[in-house]
Amino acid sequence: MTGSMRPSAENRARCFGYHFDFDEDGTKRYLMGGELPDGKEIPPKLTVLRIPTQTYAVFESQEEISEDVEIGLEILNVWRRIYSEWFPSVNFEQVEGPCLEKYYWLDEEQVDSKCEVWIPVRRK
């Protein structure tokens, strides 16, 4: 896992996950989505989540997803390390706003994948 203040842009995300509407009791809402092709309009029955322009800390991780591997364990590890290792060691704090997950396939066989976690932050 690496943390940076710049997004990597070598590939386009294939799938997005959004954590938003955080509550004091620890609950939040989660929304899955994808990129809308140019020239297409959002169907009226879909939910639109507006993402504000702000500073994000971006963390990326890669994993191989073979047939005998449980999908999703690496993303859980990324989230755990962000809060247990990165935040305690830097002069940033999380601010209000949605957290994003971006998922990419790195190969044609869809075995090697990369995920990015974007967390809205500001300097303390």
Mean pLDDT value of segment 53-74: 76
Backbone angles phi, psi at 74, to 5 degrees: -65, -40
Hey, what are 45's tokens?
Answer: 């029955």
Tell me the whole-structure pTM to 2 decimals: 0.73
Between strands 99-105 and 56-64, the pairing is unpaired
Question: How many angstroms separate the Cα of 94 from the Cα of each of 10, 69, 119, 120?
Answer: 26, 32, 7, 6
What pLDDT score does 32 carry?
Answer: 84
- Cα–Cα distance for residue pair 110/24, rounded to 1 Å: 38
Instruction: Give residue-wise pLDDT tens across range 7-33.
Output: 344 445 577 888 888 888 888 888 888
Question: How many angstroms separate the Cα of 101 from the Cα of each of 43, 61, 73, 113?
Answer: 23, 11, 14, 13
Mean pLDDT value of segment 82-97: 94
Q: What fold does the segment set 2-123 form as a domain?
A: Multidrug-efflux Transporter 1 Regulator Bmrr; Chain A (3.20.80)
Domain positions in the chain: 2-123
Instruction: Report helix, strand or coil for 5.
Output: coil
